[in-house]
Amino acid sequence: MLNTNIFRFNLLMKLAAICETAFHYQDKIRPIDYVVNVAFNMQFYPPKEWLVGSSFPSKFNPGVIQSALKELSSYTVRIFWESTKFEGFTDSVEPWYGTAYTVE
């Protein structure tokens, strides 16, 4: 399923919609921080993208998505999942804070 272009395109469109919402409803930042962000974006993006920078995915590129999917494996990804539902299912305790955990 992850290898179909239709799925990848739909994923990109959903990601773009989420990014657009986050961009339009972001917290206000200090003017100097905004200037620094725009100056940073000017080094890496074409002029029409200076204000949004990396906030939006720029275009559908199946090759980039495929290369990212190739990198995902249980050896290259670390997932931290925190929940009270794991109480009693852990086998180790962190020495400083006494936090129970399990490594799989």
| pLDDT the model gives residue 95 | 92
Q: Give tens-digit pLDDT for 50-66.
A: 877 767 666 667 777 77
Determine contact, residues 4/71, Cβ cutoff 8 Å. Answer: no
| pLDDT the model gives residue 5 | 65
Q: Domain residue spans in the chain?
A: 5-76
Instruction: Return the bridge partners of 100, or none.
Output: 93
| Predicted confidence pLDDT, tens digits, the chain (104 residues) | 455 666 667 777 787 788 778 777 878 889 898 889 888 888 888 888 787 776 766 666 777 777 877 888 878 888 888 888 888 888 899 899 988 888 87
Instruction: Say how far apart CA 3 and CA 17 lie, in whole Å.
Output: 22
